[in-house]
Amino acid sequence: MAVNILKETCIGCSTCVNACPFGAIAMETDKAVITESCTQCGACIESCPISAIVRDEQEKTGMANKDDYKGIWVYIEQVDGQAKGVGHELLGQGRKLAVALGEELSAIIIGSGVEHLVQQAFASGADKVYIADQEEYSHYNTDAYTLVVADMINTYKPSVVLMGATHDGRDLAPRVACRVGTGLTADCTDLGIDEATGLVAWTRPAFGGNIMATILCPEHRPQMGTVRPKVFKRPEQDISQSGEIVRISTRAQAKDIRTKLIDTIKVCTASCNLEEAEIIVSGGRGMGNPENFELIEELAHVLGGAVGASRAVVDAGWKPALHQIGQTGKTVGPKIYFACGISGAIQHVAGVSSSDIIIAINKDKDAPIFKLADYGIVGDVMEVLPELIAELKKIKQD
């Protein structure tokens, strides 16, 4: 723990108990103790009238011996035993880092009944897999997953840890980083090696997306970051590959877990699962009004794809933000991307450029989207889309 109470000094006044916003301090036999719920925010430190609460100096400064930290780790996020694509995409990029740094590439898998994911990780290039496969990890849980990942890092000391910038990844990564006393570059859109220092160069939008910042982590270990799904291509699977398996026995106790999963309600249907979608049909301001957006939804439905939107559409309230694609929305990489009534502003294009095929429909032949598109239809979306839908329906019927 980075924040500690000096037992000998504590006079048991209990001032700190109320100062903790997370209810993480308890009184035990007239002494304050910090529990597992501590987020290491430090809010209690100043509250103690006799300075009995301190930050552990080594963890505060991160001055652990950097040479002890070796290896690139990739967290393979899974839901109901199915690995999300981003873990495999990061194994592909992790391999490049591992080669450049001359280090080993490993995958971390946490869940219950997830042994089958080990072979998939080897097939995507992992040399080693650390697996914690226990009932306690059947559903993602911040407390339990933090405990086990932090314990793995403290035990095996990787130099780099990569996680997907998914909902769970964005929850888990900062908590783990804080627990192990390092920093985190969140929501990266690129990563490589800084030639001058040999450190990982994490690139992400900054100042509201107006500049791209490259961030280094020179003093602390491991170097940690979350990376958006679909920024990197998934590597080819080589099922002949195998490697070392390390089974982790750290077991989260009931007392470590402060939340209980009562039910799962899916708010995101297939139509908004943009990161995993193979076909995306996106609409922009050129759709004219929210009612016309039904054509986008229909085309997506016919093709079994997801529905995307430009920021202009989201700002106008035609679609919720979870459909937004672009620099400040989601980064996608489908096999086919339809851009309907979208001008192709640089901030939109930033989120779609790794698509295999882009098909644009726009009434302005000079719209910038045509510079990027593989196929372009110059025309009114209100005429082109109904025809396209009717033709595709016919093909499907046949």
Residue 377 sits at the vertex; the CA angle it makes with 372 and 378, to the nearest 5 degrees, is 100
Token digits of residue 387: 């025809």
Residue span binding ligand FAD (CB under 6 A) among the ranges 9-17, 55-63, 76-84, 203-211: 203-211
| Per-position DSSP letters for 162-180, written without gaps between them | EEE-SHHHHHHHHHHHHHH
Query: Position of tokens 């302005």?
Result: 364
The answer to whether 350 and 373 are in contact (CB under 8 A) is no
Q: Are 179 and 168 in contact (CB under 8 A)?
A: no
Instruction: Return residues touching ligand SF4 (CB under 6 A).
Output: 3, 5, 10-16, 20, 22, 24-25, 32, 34, 38-44, 47-48, 50, 52-53
Residue 223: name the closest of 263, 185, 197 by CA: 185
Angle, to 10 degrees, between the axis of helix 85-101 and the axis of helix 116-123? 50
| Residue 310 C-beta: closest distance to ligand FAD, Å | 3
* Binding positions for ligand FAD, 311-370, rule CB under 6 A: 311-313, 324, 326-329, 341-343, 345, 347-348, 351, 361-364, 367
| Minimum CB–partner distance for residue 179 and ligand SF4 (Å) | 11
Contact between 77 and 164 under an 8 Å Cβ cutoff? The reply is: yes
The token pair at 340 is 């309907």
| Cβ proximity to ligand FAD, 251 vs 285, nearer residue | 285
Determine if 102 is a binding residue for ligand FAD (CB under 6 A).
Answer: no
Nearer to ligand FAD by Cβ, of 16 and 339: the residue is: 339
Nearer to ligand SF4, 30 or 383 (CB): 30
- Where helices occur in the chain by DSSP H, the ranges are 15-19, 57-61, 85-101, 116-123, 142-156, 167-180, 293-303, 311-315, 346-349, 369-372, 381-397
Choice between 21 and 218, CB closer to ligand SF4: 21
Residue window 368-397: x/- pattern of binding to ligand FAD, with contact defined by CB under 6 A: ------------xxx---------------
Would you say 40 or 327 has its CB closer to ligand SF4? Answer: 40
Q: Which is nearer to ligand FAD, 145 or 293 (CB)?
A: 293
* Residue 328 interacting partner from ligand FAD, ligand SF4, none (CB closer than 5 to 8 Å by kind): ligand FAD
Distance (Å, rounded) from C-alpha 87 to C-alpha 169? Answer: 10
| Other Cβ atoms closer than 10 A to 6 | 14
Window of 63-71, 126-134, 230-238, 282-290 that interacts with ligand FAD by CB under 6 A: 282-290
Residues lying near ligand FAD in the complex (CB under 6 A) are found at 208-210, 284-286, 310-313, 324, 326-329, 341-343, 345, 347-348, 351, 361-364, 367, 380-382
